[in-house]
Amino acid sequence: MSEEFKVEIVNPEKSFLVKDDVSEVVVPAFEGEMGILKDHISIISFLKPGIIKILSKSGDENYYVEDGIVEFKNNNLSILTSTIFNLADMDKSKQQDLLKQAEEEANKTDINDQSKYLADQKVEVLKTLN
């Protein structure tokens, strides 16, 4: 029996990625990183800024996301996100842009704790990429 399952990433504009030979996906869930293998229990969770790692036969892929929802059911993993970038396509200047934006957001004083936390997360993740 194969140990593979299907993953689908959609953003509001289009279906971003569909792969059906995935062996493991690591997502930055809100309460910590979460590795998902085949036959995981059905779960719904949401994402904080971080890196999605997709491990598959045809090669590993890494994506940077800022938010989103994951749903895993019957060996179908759906990831809904509004901001996603393939790390392979992301050059330094793009990273710097995002980092600058995130830092600006994190330095705002009039935001609530949760958005502050999320902005800090963004800064942290983007810094580790450089």
Partner 1 sequence: MASLDDLKKRIASVKSTQKITKAMKMVAAAKLRRAQESAEKGRPYSEKMNNVILNLSNGISDKENAPKLLSGTGQEKTHLCVVMTSDRGLCGGFNSNIIKKAKSYFVKILDEGKELKIITVGSKGNDQLKRVYGDKIIENISFKESKNANYFDADKVGKMAIEKFEAGEFDVCTIFYNQFKNVITQIPQAQQIIPLNNEGEENSSEESYEFEPDEDEILSNLLPKNISTQIFKAMLENSASEQGSRMSAMDNATRNAGEMVDKLTIEYNRSRQAAITKELIEIISGAESL
Q: For the CB of residue 92, give the shortest distance to partner 1 in the complex, in Å.
A: 24
Judged by beta carbon, residue 23 or residue 45, the one nearer partner 1 is 45
Where does residue 8 fall: left (phi above 0), alpha (psi -120 to 50 degrees), or beta otherwise? beta
Nearer to partner 1, 12 or 59 (CB): 12
* Shortest Cβ 127–partner 1 spacing (Å): 25
DSSP 38-89: TTPPPEEEEE-SEEEEEEETT--EEEEESSEEEEEETTEEEEE-S-EEEGGG
Q: Which residues bind partner 1 (CB under 8 A)?
A: 8, 10-15, 29-31, 34, 41-46, 69, 71, 73, 78, 80, 82
69 vs 94, beta carbon nearer partner 1: 69
